[in-house]
């Protein structure tokens, strides 16, 4: 049973990591070309790839909670750090179209206080914390 849980959790965390990387790459391409390589709207892309990766990270943690797996631990830490950091950096440095008409101070305050950015940053670092918790519990 432990072998099945380990394999399943590693597969799910790998899929979550791949979804996250594809999502970030598509957002990066869409910032350059105004259109990403995925034929999806921003909302759909975020729900499918971003939301899907969050759900899969959490489910893989739950399935592998007491199962030793270095891959699961490492991908949780890296995936959570990438998620939280990229959203943090992009929300601080990338002005949105809605904020283009505001002064730079107002635009920065709006971006920093945007609940969706804060929520995803927190979720990313919580996922990273789940990986760190696994690493600490192992020792």
Domain boundaries, the chain: 2-138
Q: Which residue has the tokens 């995803």?
A: 120
Q: How far apart are the first and last CA of the chain?
A: 23
Q: What is the pLDDT of residue 126?
A: 96
Both structure tokens of 22? 């594809």
The Cα 139–Cα 124 span in angstroms is 24
How large is the angle between the packed helices 52-63 and 115-138, nearest 10 degrees? 20
**pLDDT tier for residue 2 given thresholds of 50, 70 and 90:** confident
- 33-53 confidence digits (pLDDT tens): 877 787 888 888 888 898 999
- 50-65 confidence digits (pLDDT tens): 899 999 999 999 999 8
Both structure tokens of 31? 């910032």
Check pLDDT > 90 for residue 12: yes
């Amino acid at each position: 049973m432990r072998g099945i849980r380990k394999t399943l959790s590693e597969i799910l965390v790998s899929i979550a990591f791949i979804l996250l990387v594809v999502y970030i790459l598509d957002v990066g391409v869409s910032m350059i070309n105004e259109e990403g390589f995925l034929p999806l709207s921003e909302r759909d892309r975020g729900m499918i790839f971003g939301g899907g990766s969050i759900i899969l990270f959490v489910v893989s943690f739950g399935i592998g909670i007491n199962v030793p797996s270095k891959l699961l631990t490492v991908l949780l830490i890296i995936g959570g750090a990438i998620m939280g950091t990229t959203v943090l950096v992009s929300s601080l440095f990338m002005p949105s179209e809605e904020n283009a008409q505001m002064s730079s101070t107002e635009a920065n305050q709006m971006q920093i206080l945007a609940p969706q950015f804060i929520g995803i940053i927190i979720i990313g670092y919580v996922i990273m914390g789940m990986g760190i918790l696994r690493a600490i519990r192992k020792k």
